[in-house]
């Protein structure tokens, strides 16, 4: 039940925010929006306000805007998407992804306001000793101060990292002060494939630093930017063959949402922020049926001085839908096999 509720929350927030971006910019640029729906399937509730029908549907895992004039066969009547200048249409197309970037900035900024920022204490003090790993099995505990590594004195956490990396997977002997007593420990680092280096299972101590209102917003923007850059680098590695294409479909995302929700509301909000950035990045890819593909078509229209024919537009959309369906089937198959 928790997994179902978490999945509904995650998908509901992400899609609603994305579609709201398209909706509000369409309204602001004078386009007619025939319907704004949260969810899909049978209607549970609907109310019309002006030209727009607002509806809540039975399956809360999606949503959509029906903006007049976006169908390739629709005529360019006044107040429709096709009747507006290209910059206005570009704004509407990009607004969904932009909202997916704005949401994590808001969420991360709120988290920084509540939690502050964790700053590294550059002293050789153990903040966390991971259960089951070499350091914990050897007897090290949170709060211990490392004094030497392989008989070399260490005074900073930087020196701890440098000396441990130099040891590789060879046995490490260190001394540490624990509750006033100095003890010796011997352990063998284990190579961690995800980290790409040998680890003994320790991390440094961090202090909480309050950032204030504007500092939290700045940190939220920087954090969001860094995640976007990291995701773009990851996509580049996948496309160039430098990294495997690990994908998760709706089942995988729902399962992860349930696992994160078990840890509390704050981790779930963080998960929503990460997924929102992911959705924004993916939607801006220049592929048919995605917002990035629509944007490219508008660029072509601006360069040609006229739009592509309705038949060409329909064919492009069909190819895009086929690609998305194929990716969905592939990712769902991966979810099931995992």
Query: Which residues are known catalytic residues?
Result: 19
What one-character-per-residue DSSP string does 91-118 give? HHHHHHHHHHHHHHHHHHHHHHHHH-EE
User: With the CA atoms of 228, 231, 236 and 242 taken in that order, what torsion angle do they form, in degrees rounded to the nearest 10?
Assistant: 150
User: With the CA atoms of 6, 8, 10 and 12 taken in that order, what torsion angle do they form, in degrees rounded to the nearest 10?
Assistant: -160
Distance CA 36, CA 7 (A): 21
Positive or negative, the CA dihedral 313, 314, 315, 316 is positive
Distance CA 248, CA 13 (A): 18
Distance CA 81, CA 74 (A): 9
Distance CA 205, CA 120 (A): 6
Q: Which helix (H) or strand (E) is 214 found in, with range?
A: helix 212-239
User: Could you tell me the CA-to-CA distances from 46 to 21, 24, 318 in Å, in that order?
Assistant: 20, 19, 30
DSSP 3-state of 153 = strand
Burial class (CB in 10 A: 0-12, 13-18, 19+), 17: buried
């Amino acid at each position: 039940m928790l997994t179902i509720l978490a999945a509904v929350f995650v998908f509901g927030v992400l899609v609603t925010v994305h579609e709201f971006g398209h909706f509000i910019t369409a309204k602001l640029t004078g386009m007619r929006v025939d319907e704004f729906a949260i969810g899909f399937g049978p209607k549970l509730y609907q109310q019309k306000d002006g030209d727009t029908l607002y509806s809540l549907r039975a399956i809360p895992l999606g949503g959509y805007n029906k903006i007049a004039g976006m169908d390739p066969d629709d005529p360019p009547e006044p107040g429709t998407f096709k009747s507006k200048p290209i910059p206005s249409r570009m704004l509407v197309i990009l607004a969904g992804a932009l909202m997916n970037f704005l949401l994590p900035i808001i969420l991360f900024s709120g988290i920084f306001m509540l939690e502050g920022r964790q700053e590294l204490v550059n002293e050789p003090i153990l903040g966390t000793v991971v259960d089951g790993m070499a350091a914990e099995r050897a007897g090290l505990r949170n709060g211990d101060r490392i004094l030497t590594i392989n008989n070399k004195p260490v005074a900073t956490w930087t020196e701890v990292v440098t000396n441990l990396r130099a040891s590789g997977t060879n046995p490490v002997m260190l001394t540490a002060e624990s509750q006033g007593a100095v003890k010796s420990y011997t352990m063998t680092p284990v190579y961690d494939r995800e980290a790409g280096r040998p680890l003994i299972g320790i991390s440094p101590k961090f202090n909480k630093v309050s950032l204030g209102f504007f500092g939290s917003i700045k940190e939220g923007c920087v954090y969001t930017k860094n995640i976007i850059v990291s995701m773009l680098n990851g996509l580049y590695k996948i496309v160039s063959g430098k990294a495997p294409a690990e994908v998760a479909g709706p089942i995988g995302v729902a399962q992860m949402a349930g696992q994160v929700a078990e840890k509390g509301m704050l981790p779930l909000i963080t998960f929503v922020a990460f997924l929102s950035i992911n959705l924004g990045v993916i939607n801006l890819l220049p592929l048919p049926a995605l917002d990035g593909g629509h944007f490219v078509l508008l660029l072509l229209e601006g360069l040609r001085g006229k739009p592509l024919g309705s038949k060409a537009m329909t064919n492009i959309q069909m190819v895009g839908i086929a690609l998305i369906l194929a990716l969905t089937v592939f990712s769902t198959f991966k979810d099931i096999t995992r």
